[in-house]
Amino acid sequence: MPDRSHELSLRELALRRLRRRHRDGTKVSLLTAARRQLTIARNVRSGWSGTIVHEQDGGLVRQSVEALCAGQGLTSGAEFGSVWTVQVLQGSLHLLLDSGRALLGYPGDLLVPAGEPARMVAESDCVMLVTFGDVAAPLVVTPVRAAAEGTT
């Protein structure tokens, strides 16, 4: 069996390309990324797709474009770090905070959960720019079905 210890995971390769691409300053089209992620989300069973579009300070600050089909949701946890925000780019979503508060976001809205864990549930097909910082662990986002939670 060949030694493959030198090979990198697809995620590591993507992050290296991202770092190389943004090292000298570039432009990222959020609209193009949004269209691409929404197309993927509509064609996968989970109804979710996301990609990191910017990483800074060795991964301490990241921005990702996340797409959710209507009725689908994501949970956040410690992997989002102590600071995170959600800017709605397209569609609408509910941000359900663990404290029981709920925020409804539409295109152009910036939702700031103040580092509190939350669930994001798409009211309609939506795309958001999620910014998170102070990440100590790799990003792990768990798709959940809103219907199973009793939220629509």
Structural tokens at position 125? 């097909």
Residue bearing the bigger pLDDT, 127 or 7: 127
Q: Is 45 helix (H, G, I), strand (E, B) or coil?
A: coil
Residues facing 111 on adjacent strands: 86
Q: What tens digit of pLDDT does each residue of 11-64 get? A: 565 555 555 555 556 778 899 999 999 999 999 999 999 988 887 766 677 888
In which residue are the tokens 């309609």 written?
124
Report pLDDT for 141: 54
**Banded pLDDT at 144 (limits 50, 70, 90):** low
For the entire predicted model, the pTM comes to 0.70
Report pLDDT for 34: 93
Report pLDDT for 81: 56
CA separation for the pair 16, 125 (Å, rounded): 30
Residues facing 110 on adjacent strands: 87
What domains appear along the chain, each with residue ranges and CATH number?
10-149 (2.60.120.10)
Rounded to whole angstroms, what are the CA distances from 115 to 62, 72, 83, 131? 15, 22, 5, 11
Kindly report the average pLDDT of the chain as a whole number.
77
Residue bearing the bigger pLDDT, 108 or 82: 108
| Nearest by Cα to 68 from 148, 147, 145 | 145
